[in-house]
Amino acid sequence: MSGDTHVSERIKSCRENLRISQVLLAELAGINPTQLYRYESGKAKPRPEAAEKIAAALGVSTAWLVHGALPVARGTQIDPPVPAGRGLILKFLELPPALAFAVKRLAMQNGSTIEIELLDLVHQGLEAMHKNALVNAESAGKSEK
């Protein structure tokens, strides 16, 4: 995807890369599905608030979604990373749909990526397991005395 495409094409292309429906994208972004259809078909241009929500749901920057390129340094521009990675990590982990949806929502609410949220959840889980192991080891030590 290059900088000369329209916002409607970028929305549709990202959504298709993620292999999600317009209805699901609209739900993730918190916008009306009919309005998303109008954005994708080029019949309407998203307002800044809607563009931010759609970009967050797709895992791309608002600047890239709206303008087609990301400024890097003094006139240099790059395309964003392939957004399909988001869908791939959820597919790889084979999360139940309800959990995958919850992680997507959490990422959107925190303004982060699915990968970061998953790593944070794993970290929290490992910390809890470590604490439980310490408690069990202490209990076992007291039982032996």
Kindly report, residue by residue over 34-48, the tens digit of the pLDDT: 999 999 999 999 999
Using 50 as the pLDDT threshold, list the residues of the chain that sit under it: 1-4, 71-88, 92
The predicted pLDDT at position 49 comes to 92
pTM reported for the whole predicted model: 0.50
The predicted pLDDT at position 51 comes to 92
Whole-number Cα distances in Å, 68 to 2, 11, 64, 122: 7, 11, 5, 34
The predicted pLDDT at position 70 comes to 54
The predicted pLDDT at position 33 comes to 94
Q: Which two tokens stand for residue 118?
A: 């998953």
Is residue 128 a contact partner of residue 120, using CB atoms and an 8 Å limit?
no
CA distance 65 to 11: 7
Work out whether strand 70-73 and strand 76-78 pair parallel, antiparallel, or are unpaired.
antiparallel
Contacts of residue 112, Cβ cutoff 8 Å, sequence gap at least 6: none
- Using a 10 angstrom Cβ sphere, with 0-12 exposed, 13-18 middle and 19 or more buried, the burial of residue 140 is exposed
Q: Which helix (H) or strand (E) holds 1?
A: none
